Amino acid sequence: MRRTAVMSKNKAEDSDKNQVQLERRAGQEGRGRDAERPSQISGRGWRDVLWRVSAEVMEDRVMLIAAGATFYLLLALFPALAAFVSIYGFVADPQTIAEHISFLGGILPSGGLDLIRSQLDSLAAQNTGALSFGFIFGLAVALWSANSGIKTLFEAMNIAYEETEKRGFIHLNLLALGFTLGAILIGIGFIISVGIVPAMLALLNLGGWTETLVRILRWPVLLIMVGIGITLIYRYGPSREKAKWRWATWGAFLSAVVWIAVSVGFSFYLENFANYNATYGALGAVIGLMMWTWISMIILIVGAELNAEMEHQTVKDTTTGAQQPMGARGATVADTLGGSADAADLQSRLDERKP
């Protein structure tokens, strides 16, 4: 996929110079068009980026795409929980999972958390921990079913980065399975640490501060873990030449911060104001979890749109490997230059003057 167009070094340099000259003639200096990293984009450049993001959110129908992703992710949720419990049983007592996920309180809606906790209890009761053919087969089926949720995220990333899926069946599924298994293993490690860390802190004789310290520390730890996870999705999810890390992290950690803040706010709203059980009856918890997942998907996709438009702002090569000219980088947003808000305003005024 990479480097479909072959050009000499001199031609590459000439191409970049010509692009810069075009930018100068268009009066677009000082917009970060030659930025090597997001921090070099100026205020005027960020105005362009945000203007294009708002346009792309409407054009890509992000709300609808997020709704579709929510459907497939919820279908994949319970197979993922089954795989989670199966693997967890090899390293710890699966009966302890439900109590250890209490750290998600305040992030997940309480009804959704109770639903997941109930399912985990049921799965843990069925788990024997024996390594048999039936166990391996069941785990493989659960992983494959959960895999569909990750592939849905990849497709959402393709839309945000203006790409079409070019990876083969085996490549795509192995990558998605790697993400699925990696997420499960990281989740297991995090849950085990929830039980270990308080015991370790107790050895420091902090008294009543132990529980308070654990409650405070969960937020920065959660932020870092979510930020890293989103960064990996942004970098490896779309079917394109991989972006340099610095072009993937900005939108990822902004999305992580917004996601945690919105999740806490939404959970508080459901707990204190909305009463989905009165409207939807027994389905209230499911509806609350579905709404939370939909909002989370919107945040994730908008963050990808932001990353894409940051790359779109500069003529510099934002992909990995040796510097390549536009058109030979293997990524749509790196191979093209995004429009400017000022140019759009000027065009709008010119159109208004036409008889």
Q: What is the pLDDT of residues 189-200, one digit of tens each?
A: 777 776 666 666
Task: Answer for the pair 71, 140: CB distance below 8 angstroms, yes or no.
Answer: no
- State how far Cα 171 lies from the chain centre: 20
Determine phi and psi for 182, rounding to 5 degrees: -60, -45
- Both tokens of residue 328? 């030979």
Task: Answer for the pair 316, 36: CB distance below 8 angstroms, yes or no.
Answer: yes
Residue 7 lies inside a defined structural domain of this protein:
no
Give the per-residue pLDDT at 211.
67
Indicate whether 27 pLDDT > 60. no
Answer with the residue of higher pLDDT: 168 or 274.
168
Vertex 62: Cα angle to 261 and 78 (nearest 5): 70
Residue 118 lies inside a defined structural domain of this protein:
yes
Q: Distance of CA 146 to CAs 136, 180, 184, 206, 229, Å?
A: 15, 7, 10, 41, 17
Q: How far apart are CA 272 and CA 270, in angstroms?
A: 6
Answer with the residue of higher pLDDT: 194 or 234.
234
Q: Is the pTM of this model over 0.85?
A: no
Task: Answer for the pair 308, 235: CB distance below 8 angstroms, yes or no.
Answer: no
- Tens of pLDDT, residue by residue over 260-307, are 999 999 988 988 888 787 778 878 888 999 999 999 999 999 999 999
Give the per-residue pLDDT at 105.
75
Q: Mean of the pLDDT values across residues 327-332?
A: 92
Indicate whether 13 pLDDT > 50. no
Task: Answer for the pair 320, 243: CB distance below 8 angstroms, yes or no.
Answer: yes
Q: Mean of the pLDDT values across residues 49-78?
A: 92
- Tens of pLDDT, residue by residue over 95-129, are 777 777 776 777 888 888 888 888 888 877 776 55
Residue 18 lies inside a defined structural domain of this protein:
no
Indicate whether 205 pLDDT > 80. no
Q: 311, 318, 301: which is closest to 59 by C-alpha?
A: 301
Residue 160 lies inside a defined structural domain of this protein:
yes
Q: How far apart are CA 131 and CA 169, in angstroms?
A: 29
The domain in which residue 88 lies consists of 38-342
Q: How far apart are CA 103 and CA 125, in angstroms?
A: 22
Query: 177 pLDDT band (50/70/90 cuts)?
Result: very high
Residue 17 lies inside a defined structural domain of this protein:
no
Q: How far apart are CA 151 and CA 333, in angstroms?
A: 21
Task: Answer for the pair 298, 66: CB distance below 8 angstroms, yes or no.
Answer: yes
Residue 20 lies inside a defined structural domain of this protein:
no
- Both tokens of residue 130? 């024996």
- Both tokens of residue 296? 């989370």
Q: How far apart are CA 248 and CA 306, in angstroms?
A: 10
Residue 126 lies inside a defined structural domain of this protein:
yes
Residue 75 lies inside a defined structural domain of this protein:
yes
> Residue 307: in which H helix or E strand, if any?
helix 284-312
The amino acid present at 250, given as its one-letter code, is W
Residues β-bridged to residue 319: 243
The number of domains in the chain is 1
